[in-house]
Copies of this chain bind each other. A is one copy, B any other.
Amino acid sequence: MNIHSRVDGQAEKKEQILEAALEAFADRGFHGTTVPAIAERAGVAAGTLYRYFESKEAIVNALYQHWKRTFAGALMVDFPAGAPPREQFRSLWERLCRFAEAHPLALQFLELHHHAPYLDETSRRIDDTVLGPARAFLAAAQRQMAVKPLPPDLLIALVHGAFVGVLRAARDGLIQLGKDTTDAAESCLWEAIRR
């Protein structure tokens, strides 16, 4: 009715669209998803998408940026900066798993598709938001002789890759994601990188 509720209504609709797009893109990728399909899932008309986003590419970039930032935030907020490396790693892994549980589609979207061809400048730059803190953690842990003195990006690739591998196996029904499983995985991966 008033400006406020209109704005809220709009924000809400934008959320619906992004949520619908996330589901669709997570499942079939960017090129495998049609705009009408997103609109239908979102419960709006196809034309309405274009009041909120310039184009299909704009939607995928908005999603990418939103979830990369949310993901990075989830990893960093209240990170136990002073704790010993073993503790920090456990904490990081736990955050990864919690995020995976809370936003499974977001991770499927972010990690299980190759986005480069349609990402814009902003999206491409955002990767460092996640990488930076991870590198910082490893550098510190290496300085404390707690982690193998290998290139941080290699260690990140191993741990991050293993995490994605677990997600994929869960999506394909090969394993169940439970506390046992994720704890065991964490233990393995700490062995992998610890000095």
What is the interface of chain A, defined by CB distance below 8 A to chain B? Answer: 27-32, 112-114, 117, 148, 150-151, 153-166, 168-169, 174-175, 181, 184-185, 188-189, 191-194
Are the C-beta atoms of B191 and A174 separated by less than 8 Å?
no
Are the C-beta atoms of B181 and A188 separated by less than 8 Å?
no
A22 CB to closest chain B CB (Å) equals 15
Bound Cα distance A173, B49 (Å): 36
* A114 cross-chain contacts in B, Cβ below 8 A: 29, 112-113
> Main secondary structure on chain A at its contact with chain B?
helix
Are the C-beta atoms of A162 and B157 separated by less than 8 Å?
yes
Are the C-beta atoms of A169 and B185 separated by less than 8 Å?
no
Bound Cα distance A156, B188 (Å): 12
Selected from B28, B154, B159, B181, the residue in CB contact (under 8 A) with A117 is B28
Closest B residue, CB atoms, query A32 = B31
Bound Cα distance A169, B111 (Å): 12
* A151 cross-chain contacts in B, Cβ below 8 A: 175, 181
